Structures are given as structure tokens and as C-alpha cells.
A and B are shown apart, each in its own frame.
Chain A
Amino acid sequence: MNRRDFAKLVLAAGAAGPIPFGITRAAGQTRGGILNTVIQPEPPILVSALNQQAPTLTVCGKIYESLLTYDFDLTPRPGMAQSWERSPDGLTYTFKLFPGITFHDGSPMTSEDVVFSVTKALMEAHARARGTFARLASAEAPDPLTVVFKLKAPFAPFLHAFDATTAPIISKALYENTDLRQNPNNARAIGTGPFKLKEWVKGSHIHLVRHEGYYRKGEPYLDEIYYRVIPDAASRAVALESGTIQLTQWNDVEAFDVPRLKALPNLDMTTKGYEFYAPHLWLEMNTRIAPMNDKRFRQAVLYAIDREALRKRVFFGLGKVATGPVSSKTRFYEPDVPKYEYAPAKAVALLDAMGLKPGADGKRVTLKYLVPPYGEMWQRVAEYVRQSLGKVGIDIVLEGIDVGGWAARCGNWEFEISAPWTYQYGDPALGVSRSYISSNIRKGILFSNTAGYSNPEVDRLFEEAAVAQDDATRQKLYSQVQKILVEDAAVAWLMELDFPTFTDKHIKDLVVTGSGVNDTFARAYRA
């Protein structure tokens, strides 16, 4: 732990340049217009404090806001908080809110709502937020525009827990002392965001309209947003092509459609705006089962897969080969780790050295691969892996299953190999360590340390890095832990996934933060 005496550390907007508040509009930004887009699958409810499924978060990003937003490099930027500071001991965080923020029902949003949301609502209903906010000793609202959080112990990524998907603010007046999940206001979806819910025709579309009382004057520029439910991937691509919708996000469009759509003159494509999530794909091997308990086997798997070819052929050039547990898009990435180039000969040598000799049929071992049921791409990844590993004598049998079955079997460790992808949430302590530390080996819980990897040194380094005060110290610890994990091949990292965001050429400034399409769209406009 670095014990240097910090000057009062002001991490506020001053460093971030002009606050986009009441600014004069740049030329060309026009008020008005409708954005048609797609949401799939349809969210169950539109309250992100209570449901954090991916589509819920995308739509709710327009309806609810949190205290901060994050730049493409994950630097905190003002959200509903205009400035914030951290005490030298790293225990107290003070946020100043913008004045004049109102909920969609017209009532003012104050620091009381923030304290209620963080300490009551999210603690009760939001698994990921609970992990961070359980560290709070207290949360206070000394005046309507000031919130003071006190931590029990320092927690370095605290400032990365205030994006709208982790800490959406809901109204204390509407939710206090109620059964949150049964609250009738859930159907109204009352937030403070630039767009409010007008109509939701189940199975058809969600209609959002501008919140006239939005506190950033002049914003949002768009009048309306329609999220249309189009369940079939091919139909979504056609809708985009024909101009029926002007935006697709995440995996709305399958990777094999990307080259074709990219060539269309009416569309723009970007892969920016997913930095906060930095989705990371890996091959998870259940280390409770031989031979996957042997790190030589896991290393052999990494050598046997030509991940660059996987990127080119299966993902059509989208994304980047992952070199280790931390995504290069996020903070504390360490590039100098052991390398696993495509070298089937090395894989064979490792497997031979283990004594895992091929049988008469050329197979050394047969393992089952539980294919994630999230779309055609994951089936293709599975087939590619089967081909690659087959060449070095590792026989793979693919098992198909639906979402419910996949979640149950991965969570309960009833799998041999699978390929999950997880988000990194802006900080290794929030999105990376959970997959490797021993204390997070929890049966029945998906996205915990389901591979069962356990290493006391790794546990210690992650723990120290989470509470260290300055970034230099944290970088040192995270670099160390990345080297160990990669040497151990805790899992076989495959790809830093890129998702294509297609927008109509007339839609501008849609992706402006590291949360991209999950952000507010307050500054998006039709040119």
C-alpha cells in the first residue's frame, strides 16, 4: 500500500474539459427527429435497478441515469454529479449533483434519492452493485445537492461503480418501504434520463419520448426513440438494410452479415462504445476434472488454437486476440505476459510430456463442450475449437442446450468445457478478479469462478490491488497477477470481442462514451 500523503485529490470535471451543460450547440445539431432501433430479446421490465439483463440495460440507459459516465478510456465524466472528490485516506467520496434534475413524474431528484437507491434499492435487488456497495459504512445527504459516501475500507474502483447500469437512481418517494419487485410504479419506469417511457406494446415495440424537464438544457436533440422487437437475426439485418431501423447494437447483427452491411452506402459502423464492458471470450476448462487440472493441458489447448484465424474466419475480422485475463481496452492491461502463438507441435509435446498418449483411434482424451446458446456465432466458435483441438488428439463432443440449461450447468460446475464471455466493468476488481479468486468459487452462481482455478498468490495480488490507493501500485500488482494467470493458463483466453454498432449515416453523435449504446443518447441528433 502506498502511504504517500495525497493532496486533496480532486478528480472532478476540471480535468475533463468543458462540462457539456448548457453549452452552445455545434453547427448542424438539430432538434427533432425519430430514431428507430431494435431490442432483442424483449426486456421483462424497464427498471434497471431490479433487472440487469442486457436488453433491459440498453433501453434503461435512456430512462435512468447515474452519478457518472465514462469516457472511451474509462476516465470518469460528469453524469448527474457535476463534481466529486476523494479524501486522502481513500475512505470518503463526496459528490455534488447538478441542480434542477427532475424525475419523469415531475418531482425533483435530490441526494436523498441517491442515498436511497444506493443503500436500499440496489443493495436489495442488484447483485453486481451489491458487491461494491456492501463496502459502504455510511451514505449521507447533508444537503439536497451533496452525497457523501464513507467506505469501511479503501476500494480503488469505487468511482467506476457509478455508471447507469450499475447504479441507476430511482425515486425514493415512489419506492421507499415497498416491495420493490411488486411496486406498481415499475410499469411506469420513472427515471431522470433524457427519454421517458410513453408506451410499451409487449411483443411489438417500446416507445420513448423526450423528457421535457431534462436538466441539460436543449437536450436531448431527438424527439422519440422506438425500440422494436425483431426476434430473427436475418430479419434485423433486412430491417437495417431497408432503413426501417437506423441502429443496431451488441449482437443484433450476426458477424457473418457484417461485411455485407458494412459495404452499404447508407450505414456507418463503429466498434467503439463497448469499452466499459470490454466483453472477453474464453474457453473455460473445468479444473476439477482431469486432465484439465494440469496446467500443461490448458497450455496445450492455447497452443493448439490459431486464434488469429478464429478472429478472421469466424468473427470476420472483428475484435482482437486476447492475451490474458484483462482486456487491452480497459485499465491495468499488461501486454508483457507469456505468449501462446499457434504452435500445434508445442501442444503435442506438452500432451506427450503429460503422458496423455493417443489411443489407437488417435484420440488422447474426449471432452464435452457445452455450447453457449446465445446465437449462431458461438456455435461456429465451438466448431472451430473442435477442429483445432482434434488435430492434436483432443477429441471434442459438442453439446447443444438452451439458456436455462446452460446457466444451470455452468453454475453448478456440470460441464467439462464451455466458452463464456463476461464484461470487465471498467476495473479488474469489478469484472476480472471474480473469475479467478478462490473466495469466489461458489456453486450455483453463474459468472463466479466456475472453472475452479485456485492460487493463493493470485488471491493475494487481486486483494491488494483492489484496495491499493494509487494507480501505479495497482498496475504493478495487476501486471504480476496477469503474468501468473497467463503462465498457468487459468482459462484459454480467445478474444476481446468487438460488437458492430451500425447507424444510419444521418444519425450523429450516438456513441459518445465508453458505455456506447447503453448510454443516454441525449446528444444524438439527426443531420
Chain B
Amino acid sequence: MRMLAGLAAWIARTLAVILVIASVNFALVHAAPGDPAQVIAGQSGASDETLLRQLRAEYGLDKPYAVQLATYLGRVLRLDLGYSYRQQRPVLGLVLERLPATLLLTGTAFALALGFGILLGTLSGVRAGRWSDTLIGLVALVLYAMPVFWLGLMLVLVFSVQLEWLPAFGYRSVGATFSPLGQVGDVLAHLVLPALSLAAVYLAVYARLMRTAIVEVAAQDYVKTARAKGLTRGRVIRDHMIRNAILPVVTVAGMQAGALVGGSVVVETVFAWPGLGRLVFEALSQRDYPVLLGLFLVMSVLVILINMLTDLLARLIDPRIAASARAA
């Protein structure tokens, strides 16, 4: 019963948050100077009153602002993301078409960053002060400081142009036919460079976070106890140190997962990866309001979902969190 009530409250809260986000998005998007009609005129080299009038009527921009907002929120509640007159397609279709590419890229990058970040951070932490710790710290610092677009271009220059090992652009070979397995391999080959570029910064952050946490945990009494009772070094690190040190990393990673989706704009641009990030960027520069609003909404829902997952994960890792939540 208590749990059901909690769930209902959570759903109500989430809905309210989504509606507020949708309204703010709407206001922000319409506050930028210029509208889709003017952008199209600006890129056509000529325009006249008739064209502007036609386009504005199509977008519903000739109606009062309040009416436009009400129409939009009504549609959001009905899960209707609207229609892009510019691309002549429903927004939902556009988003769903690009979503897999983005999920594949950000998911891979996230897994790489988290996996290697925790691994390197742990290695570094348990060898604190030794040369291998310094080396890992240095690599992390370099990765952290490197601009993503530059790293991407350098990877392309080395692995695509010089060595010719990996493709430089796109998500699959255009115009080639493969067996189903070959197709998977082809997509994976295209995925390597963009995923590495996107993972680099986050990897560095997680590695440094993990190192700090490990160093902190290593000084705790229960670690000394575990050692004293004769556990192997591996078991102490695995069961006692990592399990406790990983919590802050997971929390931060959860918060950054949202940023990862947005941050993929640059990588998607450099590698011509047909994902959501680029769709956002293009929709913004073209003032394609329906697409922009739809994307913002989908992304905010994604962030909410990821945060929820992070919460659950934190409870799994550390049962004390759930216990303290119940007590309160």
C-alpha cells in the first residue's frame, strides 16, 4: 500500500516536472529571434510576403502566443509530439529514426567510460603514489583537457587517413552490401572512433573520482579488519573497497548520462553520425520548433528515467540508502 502511494506520488511529481519543462522549453524556443519562415528565406536567397505568410500559417505562428502554448501542452499530454512542416514528417517518426543511433553511441561511450574509468581509478587508487598511479593520472588529465572535436579529428587522421584501419564517417558503409553478421561488424567498425572520442572526457572524470574514493576507503577500519582476518588482496579490493568506493562514481555518472546525450552533438557532427544530437542542433539553427520541442521533451524524459535507474542502482549497491529512506 505504502509502496503504491509512493509510486503514485512519484508519477504525479514526474508529470508535473515534465509539464514545467515543456512550458519552459516552449518559452525559450520562442524567445530566440527569428522564426522558421525567416530561416528558410535566409537560406533561399530570395523571399516575399506570400512565402513568409504561407510558412507562418503552416507552423501556426500566426496565432496568439497563449493559444500556441495551450495547443502544445495539450498535445504533450496526448503524447503527440507534432509535425515538422520543414521535413514533412511527424516529429515522433524523426526522433524514433535517430534514437537508435544515439542510444548505441552514447550507450557504448557510457559503458566504456564507466568500465575503464572504474578499472583505471581502482588500479590507480590501490597504487597511490607509485609511478603507475602517476601515469594513469597523467593520461586522465590529458584526456580530460582535450577538446572532443580535436580528439575526434586526430583519431580520424591517424586511424582513417594514415592507417586506413577504420572508417571516418557515418554509421555504416554507404552503398555496400553485407551479410547480416558483416553488417553488425560494419556498424561496430564505424562506432569505434566516435565512441572513443565521446568516452574520453567521462572516462577521465570517473577514473579520478574512483581513485579518490579508493584512497579514502583504503584508510577505513573495516578494510584494515578485512586484511587482518587474512583475506586475499584481490578479495579486499573487490568486495570491500570497490563496493564502497563505487557509489559516488555511479551517482555522478547518473547525473552525467543526460549530459552525455546532449554532449554527443559535437561527436555526431565530427563523425557525421546520424543521431539525436545533430537533429537538435539542426532543428535549432533552422528554428524547426516542433522538432526542437519534441526533442527537448524526449531528452528530459530520458534524463528523468536515467536518474530513476541511478537511484535504483544506488539502492542495490548500498542497501543502507533504501533503509534510511524508509526510516525518514
Contacts and interface: CB of A to CB of B under 8 A. Distances in A.
A403 B86 contact: no
Contacts of B271: 235
A404 B46 contact: no
Interface string B80-97: 000001111000001001
Contacts of B278: 203, 231
Interface string B147-158: 001000100110
B221 interface: no
B175 interface: yes
B51 interface: yes
A226 interface: yes
Contact of B40 (A51, A130, A445): A51
B32 A403 contact: no
A334 B113 CA distance: 63
B42 A403 contact: yes
Nearest to B274: A203
B213 interface: no
B45 A235 contact: no
A407 B44 CA distance: 11
Interface of B: 32-36, 38-52, 54, 58, 85-88, 94, 97-98, 101, 149, 153, 156-157, 160-161, 164, 168-172, 174-175, 268-272, 274-275, 278-279, 282, 284-287
Contacts of B33: 401, 404-405, 408-409
Nearest to A422: B45
A242 B172 CA distance: 17
Contacts of B45: 52, 54, 128, 422-423, 447
Contact of A202 (B41, B169, B174, B274): B274
Nearest to A187: B88
B88 A407 contact: no
Interface in A172-199: 181-182, 186-187
Contact of A228 (B40, B272, B285): B272
Main secondary structure, interface of A, reads mixed
Given A44-B87, A408-B33, A235 B274 contact: no
Interface in A119-139: 125, 127-128, 130-131
9 contacts: A127-B48, A128-B44, A181-B85, A203-B279, A204-B170, A228-B170, A228-B174, A404-B33, A423-B45
A405 B34 contact: yes
B174 A226 contact: yes
A411 interface: yes
A187 B171 CA distance: 23
A477 interface: no
A53 B48 contact: no
Given A224-B175, A229-B272, A406-B34, A446 B169 contact: no
B88 A447 contact: no
Interface in A96-135: 125, 127-128, 130-131
A201 interface: yes
Contact of B285 (A53, A54, A404, A446): A404
